[in-house]
Amino acid sequence: MFLGTTEPSAQVERVLQSETLRASGVLQRLLRYLADKAFSGEADQLKEYTIGVDAFGKPPTYDPRQDAIVRLQVGRLRQKLGEYYRTEGKNDPVVLDLPKGRFKLKWEMRATEEPLPEAVAVPQDKPESSVHWRRAAIVLGVASLILASWGAYSAALLWRAHQGQPGLSAWTPDLERLWRPFLASKRPLVVAIADPLFIGLEGTDVYFRKISLRRPEDAAGSPEVSALRKLLGNPNIQPTFNFAPTGEMFSSFLVGKLLGTRRQDISLARSSQVPLQELAENNLILIGPEAVFNQKLPGMQLEPELAQGPKGIRNLHPRPGEPEVFLDQPAGSAPNDGEVYALISHAPGPLGNTNIQSFTSNRTWGRQGAIQAFTDPALARTLVTRLSKPSGEIPRYYQIVVRVKFRDGLPTDIAYVLHRDLTPL
């Protein structure tokens, strides 16, 4: 069906005012720009450079090969459009789309289902299926309750953490020294947070999460997923990366709060959507389990001294008196209380011309504690003192182990343990 510009224009306004895009002025501006170009017939001539200058206010010297902001934000907009049409826009009559590899906004009328002929009767459930559906209803109810409770719990933790977090003072000399590689670089900065895989089951509100399942293709062979599907009538598997741990959410807030006063080219991305090309072209801050990022980092240009293990931080070359593993405290009767170790690594990017800073731990609260060590002035002072060489300089590349004690899901004590200088290969 041919559509004039009236219907798509109204749809663009509907998406711009949606909850999905309301909090992102950057994506709203980009969508409006791409829509205006599409409605005026100029979309076929759009280039990455043009979008960077016109939509993002880049100077005439802007070089898309050095600054990937257009590709990153177009990818985020494409993701947000998909999210919108899966949720609040699922019944909208017009569907907006940004095909991959292009900057031209497209639209089409949503296909509507034909009504069933009156002669077709809807079969009734067999009596023996009533037990199956009662069991499925119980599972769905429990799953919905768990998701709702987790959402409320996460929101409460974030509010409490924000209330108890002392206000960040102006930049201190110690914070300046820790973040100097990112402040001095002209490369864009991407903050990538882990978005673990959840297995959704089509037509239900059930989502399944297992730490060892990291790729969607592994879900079909999972005995737990198979058992759950059998219980619910064998619905199709729908992998999703739409959930992020509480610690990652608060960590990205702390990073943005601090660095946003000094840099305007910061982007937030999910680890599942950071392509290898962006790893080589941008400065990166990675927040999440090490295993999530190891799949994407082919070479770090150095030999690590410390590594994240399943039970804690492995000391690959222990010195006299040092343990081989800094062991996390296993979860007991109070799983939201405990003690874990976090690893902070600063390394060159794959091509050696960018910086990568990773904050990893086996628990989300350990990662949050590591971020706090780099954003709190008092903790930053301790790290700079420990890292400093006799000359007063801190190493260009390094790894740091910190111990994080947490109670009720909030870091309560963050302490430096040791560090290692790293030398590029």
Q: Which residue has the higher pLDDT, 275 or 344?
A: 344
| pLDDT surpassing 50 at residue 209 | yes
Q: Please, where are the H alpha helices in 282-397?
A: 290-294, 364-375, 377-387
What angle do helix axes 364-375 and 173-184 make, rounded to 10 degrees? 100
In sequence order, what are the residues at sequence separation of 6 or more whose Cβ sits closer than 8 angstroms to the Cβ of residue 235? 201, 202, 203, 204, 229
Question: Could you give the percent of the chain with pLDDT greater than 90?
Answer: 26
Instruction: Return left, alpha or beta for 398; rule: phi > 0 is left, psi -120 to 50 is alpha, else beta.
Output: beta
Instruction: Return left, alpha or beta for 344; rule: phi > 0 is left, psi -120 to 50 is alpha, else beta.
Output: beta
- CA dihedral (88, 76, 261, 391) in degrees, to 10, reads 140
Place of tokens 């290692």: 420
- Rounded to 5°, the CA angle 361-329-356 comes to 10
At residue 21, the pLDDT reads 84
Quote the CA–CA distance of 291 and 280 in Å, as a whole number: 19
| pLDDT surpassing 50 at residue 154 | no
| pLDDT surpassing 70 at residue 193 | yes
Q: What are phi and psi of 256, to 5 degrees?
A: -65, -40
At residue 166, the pLDDT reads 44
In sequence order, what are the residues at sequence separation of 6 or more whose Cβ sits closer than 8 angstroms to the Cβ of residue 381? 172, 174
pLDDT band at residue 276 using 50, 70 and 90 as cut-offs: low
| Cβ atoms of residues 339 and 403 within 8 Å | yes
Structure token digits, residue 339: 């003690």
- Burial (CB < 10 A; 0-12, 13-18, 19+), residue 341, is buried
pLDDT band at residue 378 using 50, 70 and 90 as cut-offs: very high
pLDDT band at residue 380 using 50, 70 and 90 as cut-offs: very high
| pLDDT surpassing 90 at residue 303 | no
Quote the CA–CA distance of 201 and 204 in Å, as a whole number: 6
Summarised one tens digit per residue, pLDDT across range 92-131 is 888 998 888 788 898 888 765 444 444 334 444 444 444 4
Task: Tell which residue, 331, 228, 342, has the closest CA to residue 286.
Answer: 342
At residue 127, the pLDDT reads 44
| pLDDT surpassing 70 at residue 145 | no
Quote the CA–CA distance of 33 and 12 in Å, as a whole number: 11
Summarised one tens digit per residue, pLDDT across range 383-406 is 999 999 999 899 999 999 999 999
187: how many CB neighbours lie within 10 A of its CB? 18
Q: Give mean pLDDT, residues 156-160.
A: 48
Quote the CA–CA distance of 143 and 333 in Å, as a whole number: 22
Quote the CA–CA distance of 405 and 412 in Å, as a whole number: 6
